[in-house]
Amino acid sequence: MGWTAGIKFTPGLLLLLLLLLLLLLLLPQGDCPRAAHARSLCYDFTILPKASPGQSWCEAQGQVNEKTFLSYDCGSQEVKSLSLLGEEVNGTRAWQEQMETLRDVGNLLRQQLLDVKREKYTDRDPLPLQRRMLCQCEANVRTRASWQFGSQGQTFLLFDSENRTWKVLHPRGRQMKEKWESDRDVTEFLRKISMGDCRSWLESFMVHWEKMLETTASPTMAPAIAQSRATAVMPITWVLAVTMLTCSLLLGL
């Protein structure tokens, strides 16, 4: 006999269960603000093991929703705004915190080049090393974050920030995995930046991003934006309507 055998499902009890279901549907399910589409923020680092005199040994580019908005020189710590969004968020608290963290990441990458003995390459000079930090708020408001390490567009090593797991995708990533996986401080540092700092910056930058879209939208685009927002609200509206109708039928209203 099931645990519900002794329960009498009266109209009042069913009404209560429906209301609880409605509350669960309306509650947020993650750390990111609710959005109709996924939002992303990433930083691509390119490191030159043998930089020429006067050449930067490390450069980074920041992208919001795959649109580049800044360029950063790890050596000189010079940052350039490359879009209207970069100009808009320049000077904000999130922008300043971002610069400080990029500097710390640059220092970590430099230390890596000094400590880790690079594998031999067939080319005369070692290939440029590439790092990518990505944080993403998906449509279901779930935060995802990761670090990718590789060269020439090929990923050697992947760090899943949420699960704190390392995955070797190419033999060249094995040495780095062995060194960093055993270093709890490095692992926690990478996780904190991608899961915490990056998500916070993304939320801040997206506020300015959406304001820019509203400001630059033409009159013909405005109805489309309004319709998109109305579409996003429709599921909640339908849930409310169905719930109220069901309650009315149960209570005989």
Number of C-alpha atoms within 13 angstroms, CB side, residue 34? 9
Ramachandran region, residue 54 (left: φ > 0; alpha: ψ -120 to 50; beta: rest):
left
- Going by C-alpha positions, the residue among 57, 33, 40 that lies closest to residue 133 is 40
Over residues 145-169, the pLDDT tens digits come to 999 999 888 899 999 999 999 999 9
| Lowest mean pLDDT, pick from 66-70, 202-206, 213-217 | 213-217
Over residues 16-32, the pLDDT tens digits come to 555 544 443 443 333 45
Across the range 215-222, mean pLDDT stands at 54
Strand positions, DSSP E, 138-231: 143-151, 154-160, 165-168
**Architecture label for domain 39-215:** 2-Layer Sandwich (3.30)
Strands 39-47 and 129-137: antiparallel
Q: With pLDDT > 90 as the criterion, what percentage of the chain qualifies? A: 35
Q: What residues have CB less than 8 Å from 78, skipping those under 6 apart?
A: 72
Torsion angle (degrees, nearest 10) of CA 6, 11, 13, 19: 150
pTM above 0.85, yes or no: no
